[in-house]
Amino acid sequence: MHSPDVYGLMAEFADPNELVAAAHRAHHEGYRRMDAYSPLPIEELHEAIGFHNTRLPLIVLIGGIVGGLAGYLLQWWASAVAYPLNVGGKPFHSWPAFIPVTFECTILGAALSAVFGMLALNGLPQPYHPVFNVPRFTLASRSGFFLCIEARDGKFDLSRTRAFLETLGATEVTTVAD
């Protein structure tokens, strides 16, 4: 059981390989509510903490389709409805000419929905987060590798989880105030 003013336990590791190994062990041990922090992207890390699928690909797909349709319809409306212009005797609705802009609009829609979808799913921007209460956490954007097991995890126990993290080779284990 945990007291309500504890967010979780933060363990610091010396290098990315130790962090990945620790995340694997913690996941294997049955911990699920945890997050890892690293100054550089680590390919294996998200799988190590058991983080599999997000809804982001679906959002990007929908964004791309909406962008493409909007781009095509805009051209169709301009060239065939609002301002029909005879170009080289071609039909007003000439799909080959519309493809480049449709393609660009698809990419635009997909890219914008990727960025904003990612921010929305991450809950960013987030001016306050409990992990900021750990003084050494500023190193997470420079040279520190952190694994935080959160108190809302069913298996979380302040003393036993701390002991477990210490067996993983953490250089320091800190209690994170909420």
Chain residues binding another protein by CB under 8 A are 20-21, 24, 43-44, 47-48, 57, 61, 88, 90, 96-97, 99-100
The residue (of 88 and 127) whose beta carbon lies closer to another protein is 88
Least distance (Å) from another protein to the CB of residue 20? 5
The residue (of 113 and 174) whose beta carbon lies closer to another protein is 113
| Tokens found for residue 38 | 């690293």
172 touches 147 (CB < 8 A): no
Least distance (Å) from another protein to the CB of residue 103? 9
The residue (of 95 and 132) whose beta carbon lies closer to another protein is 95
Place of tokens 């108190």: 151
Least distance (Å) from another protein to the CB of residue 27? 11
The residue (of 54 and 122) whose beta carbon lies closer to another protein is 54
9 touches 162 (CB < 8 A): yes
- Residue 86's alpha-carbon distances to 80, 81, 94, 98, 170, in angstroms, are 10, 12, 11, 15, 72
Least distance (Å) from another protein to the CB of residue 147? 14
**Secondary structure element (H or E) that encloses residue 108, with its range:** helix 95-122
The DSSP call for residue 79 is I
The residue (of 44 and 157) whose beta carbon lies closer to another protein is 44
Least distance (Å) from another protein to the CB of residue 44? 5
Q: For residues 12 and 137, what is the distance between their CA atoms, to the nearest angstrom?
A: 9
Q: For residues 166 and 151, what is the distance between their CA atoms, to the nearest angstrom?
A: 17
